[in-house]
A and B are shown apart, each in its own frame.
Chain A
């Protein structure tokens, strides 16, 4: 076991950290997709107030570092819980990270979704309505499938960005791969080895995601009739 020697027995810890990284990315993706759908709905609303809120959400969150959001949710959340319950409460780092990264992902996702929906020509909608489809049917069977195809690549790329961004949640103590690498660095005094191992894990994860995305894109482009 040459590899185990190189990592001084920390390989298992790093792999457990990688599992948490993937879980954190999935949780953030779930939160972010919901927020993105909501943000997109607001941006496309006919009411000016809703549109303003939708655009402000996307513009403000996208110009603020994810780390600041993580701090705001983590320390702000602790403050709020302390005020509500009257005693000191420790906020779960995983939960705070998922909310903060979800907020960030949602802002990008709302812009992607809006762009994709607007890329479907109006004629498609009008034709569907002329054929007697209801508004809901038009949305679900004509507009959304075409928009989903346009959104696939940017949405996939943003998901890869999200996976890499989970690394910053280690700073507030979430036990993912970066945190494990930091602990292993402290114990072995070999920070380069440990962070390089973490880098390889991220490289493998993002590599798999890129290949999966490319494969899906190829599959989807076969449906293209234009």
Chain B
């Protein structure tokens, strides 16, 4: 039982870091996707195509096992990070999540009415101010339900960490099931922990939606 708690804690840590990395990266991805420059749009679209078109497991293995193939990387300052399974999972799932969140955010930004920006300009706001204070908050608010689901998907994807030696919830459950000869009880227990975690996320996001939607 304490092993499952430790596993759940690692799942929670990985999820939090990957979601934060995903959100931080999603903004530049979304802005490139909506950029007036065709080159930037192409880069963003290629990024989204690759990370949405391939399994997260392949992305993780490319980063964790694949990076060691190159002498250059093994002698670079990045190696201590890329050798560590923990950071590989955070980076791989963060990049993966950024593709999904970035796409969502880009379409949410595109649907903010142009009149909002024009109104902001008329009120004397700069371009930067109009983006940060008017357009982005409106886009984030309309993207919230999708973002909530994205957090749940990232939480579920952290189970892949067990394939690169990290004993998070799923990995711990597999180990305990083999040791205890009681696979059903152990997997059911782990499943209930995931249920509780993700229910909390979805419930919290719904509360946030209602809170932010009160001005509507």
Interface 1/0 per residue, A64-82 and B, CB below 8 Å: 1111100110011001000
Complex Cα distance, B160 from A67, in Å, reads 7
> With an 8 A cutoff between CB atoms, is B208 at the interface?
no
Residues of B with C-beta under 8 A to A207: 53
- In the bound complex, residues from chain B placing their C-beta under 8 Å from that of A189 are 69
A64 vs B199: C-alpha distance in the bound complex, in angstroms? 11
Report if A146 contacts B (CB, 8 A). Answer: no
Residue interface bits A163-200, CB-to-B below 8 A is 1, else 0: 01101101100000010011001000111110110110
**Alpha-carbon separation in the docked complex, A194 to B55 (Å):** 14
| Interface residue? A63 (CB, 8 A) | yes
Stretch touching chain A among B83-91, B140-148, B181-189: B181-189
| Cβ distance B10 to chain A, nearest Cβ, rounded Å | 14
User: Which A residues lie within 8 Å of B197 (CB)?
Assistant: 63
* CB proximity to B under 8 Å, residues A184-225: 185, 189-193, 195-196, 198-199, 202-203, 206-207, 210
- Counting contact residues on chain B (CB < 8 A from A), the size range is 35 or more
Report B42 CB to chain A, min CB distance, Å.
16
Q: Per DSSP, are chain B's interface residues mostly helix, strand or loop, or mixed?
A: helix
38-79 of chain B: CB within 8 A of chain A: 49-50, 52-59, 61-62, 65-70
Partner among B55, B178, B195 whose Cβ is within 8 Å of the Cβ of A167 = B55
- Is the CB–CB distance between A71 and B157 below 8 Å? no
Q: State which of A62, A79, A198 has its C-beta within 8 Å of the C-beta of B181.
A: A79
Q: Is A60 part of the binding interface, using a Cβ–Cβ cutoff of 8 Å?
A: yes
The number of residues on chain A lying at the interface, defined by a beta carbon within 8 Å of a beta carbon of chain B, is: 38
A79 to B174, CA, bound (A): 13
CB distance from B200 to the nearest CB of A (A): 10
What DSSP secondary structure best describes chain A's contact surface? helix
Known A65-B194, A191-B66; contact A76-B162, beta-carbon cutoff 8 A: no
Given contacts A178-B57, A195-B65, A207-B53, contact A65 B174 (CB under 8 A): no
Checking A164, A182, A185, A192 against B55 with a beta-carbon cut-off of 8 angstroms, the contacting residue is A164
On whether the beta carbons of B53 and A192 are closer than 8 Å, the reply is: no
Closest CB-CB distance, B143 to chain A, in whole Å?
Answer: 17
Whether B190 is near chain A, meaning CB under 8 Å from some CB there, is yes
Shortest A42–chain B CB gap in Å is 19
Residue B173 at the A interface, CB < 8 A?
A: yes
B58 engages A64 (CB within 8 Å): no
Q: A71-B170, A189-B69 are in contact. Are A202 and B191 (CB under 8 A)?
A: no
Chain B nearest CB from A127 CB (Å) reads 33
Q: Of all chain B residues, which has the CB nearest A60?
A: B195
Contact (Cβ within 8 A) B65 A164? no
- Max chain B C-beta neighbours (<10 A), residue from A65, A165, A191, A207: A65
Q: Are A64 and B174 interface neighbours, CB within 8 A?
A: no
Determine the distance from Cα of A72 to Cα of B58 in the docked complex, in whole angstroms.
22
Q: B residues within 8 A CB of A168?
A: 55, 57, 160
Residues in A whose Cβ lies below 8 Å from that of B13 = none
**Does B58 contact A167, Cβ atoms closer than 8 Å?**
yes
Decide if A68 touches B194 in the complex (CB within 8 Å): yes
Which residues of chain A come closer than 8 Å to B54, judged between CB atoms? 164, 199, 202-203, 206
Q: 3 smallest A-B Cβ distances: which pairs?
A: A192-B66, A65-B159, A63-B198
7 A-B pairs whose Cβ atoms sit less than 8 Å apart in the complex: A63-B197, A63-B199, A68-B173, A191-B65, A192-B67, A195-B65, A199-B59
Known: A63-B152, A71-B173. 13 other contacts (CB 8 A): A60-B195, A64-B195, A68-B170, A71-B170, A71-B187, A72-B184, A75-B187, A181-B58, A182-B61, A192-B62, A192-B70, A199-B59, A206-B53
Interface set of B (CB-CB < 8 Å, partner A): 49-50, 52-59, 61-62, 65-70, 152, 156-160, 162-163, 169-170, 173-174, 177-178, 181, 183-184, 187, 190-191, 194-195, 197-199
